[in-house]
Structure 1
Amino acid sequence: MERVNSKHGPRLDEQMSQEVAGLVQGPGTGGSRVDEQRVPEPAGEDQPETTTAPAGELRSGAPKGMSSRDVEDRSRLGRFITMSALPGDRATLIANARDNDAPDDIITALEGLPEGIRYQTVSEVWAALGNKNETTRW
């Protein structure tokens, strides 16, 4: 016994079943949810394959003048120096970092800061520790 929809003809039924085949069968059976017209054409023989984003530093979003590792390390430093400690001198920054359970390497780095200088921002502290900040855009 063949099941036939009385509201549609066989041609429309077949078209409708193809449209939902990817949803019914799932991605492992070769079905696809993407319309055929939306699938990009493959690259030509003499052209490289396309990607969604460039590789390397451009992909990380690091500002000019800094590597992505520098950005991560400065951010890590900033997690242990709260805004209440700024502006602050060496002793204030060390005490604040200890209050925020900073790891030993952060405390050791802050202990290497010169005495008698007040730092306004984490970026100033970062630079005083011998690191580079991003370059200014004009």
Structure 2
Amino acid sequence: MERGSSKHGPRLDEQLSREVEGLVQGPGAAGSRVDEFRQAEPAGEDQPEPTTAPAGDLRSGSPQGMTSGDVEERSRLGRFIGLSALPGDRDTLVRNARDNDAPDDIVAALEGLPAGTTYRTVSEVWAALGHKNETTRW
């Protein structure tokens, strides 16, 4: 059994690195060997560029009975009401929102809630502010 050196010179190193460049660099590298079917085909001359998700009400994930704008606004409200404030009344929610540096429009809306009512969830607060929640699916 003959044992030789497994090392090679810089010229061979350079050649080997060029051969795997497409695998290391990704699909944008020159001479890439990445499967072409994985790359998006460009739009035609008179066609708009494709997007990954449509905007507006066509966007998937909006529950029945709500628009995507409603979902975004309810989520925005929920970011400023901590779980420690629920269940809570109007004063607890306003205090918690201020502690979480809520914008003035959120604080003003919470201050408009009726006194003496306890809210268990952000959805209940959202409904009390006059907005629609998702409808129940049966």
TM-score norm. by structure 1 comes to 0.64
Partner of 1:64: 64
Partner of 2:86: 86
- Within 5 Å, give how 1:26-45 maps onto structure 2: 27=28, 33-35=33-35, 38=37
Percent identity for Structure 1 against Structure 2:
70
User: Retained in 1: the 8 A contact 2:59–2:68?
Assistant: no
C-alpha deviation, 1:121, in angstroms: 0.3
C-alpha deviation, 1:58, in angstroms: 3.8
Aligned length, in residue pairs: 118
TM-score norm. by structure 2 comes to 0.64
Cα root mean square deviation, aligned: 3.7
User: Retained in 2: the 8 A contact 1:82–1:96?
Assistant: yes
User: Retained in 1: the 8 A contact 2:90–2:111?
Assistant: yes
Distance in structure 2 (CA, Å) of the matches to 1:89 and 1:22: 60
User: Retained in 1: the 8 A contact 2:22–2:29?
Assistant: no
Partner of 2:112: 112
Shift of the 32–96 alpha-carbon distance from structure 1 to 2, 3 Å rule, reads: same
1:98-125 deviations in Å (ceiling 9; x for gaps): 1111110001000111111110100000
C-alpha deviation, 1:55, in angstroms: 3.2
1:50-107 deviations in Å (ceiling 9; x for gaps): x686735343421111111111111111111111111111111111111111110001
Partner SS for 1:88 = coil
Corresponding position: 1:55 with 2:54:
yes
Partner of 2:127: 127
Shift of the 22–104 alpha-carbon distance from structure 1 to 2, 3 Å rule, reads: same
1:23-67 deviations in Å (ceiling 9; x for gaps): 6xx9486x564546x479x9xxxxx99x68673534342111111
Distance in structure 1 (CA, Å) of the matches to 2:103 and 2:51: 38
Structure 1, gaps ≥5 residues long: 1-18, 43-47
Partner of 1:136: 136
Residue type of the partner of 1:88? G
Residue type of the partner of 1:81? I
Shift of the 81–137 alpha-carbon distance from structure 1 to 2, 3 Å rule, reads: same
Distance in structure 2 (CA, Å) of the matches to 1:33 and 1:129: 57
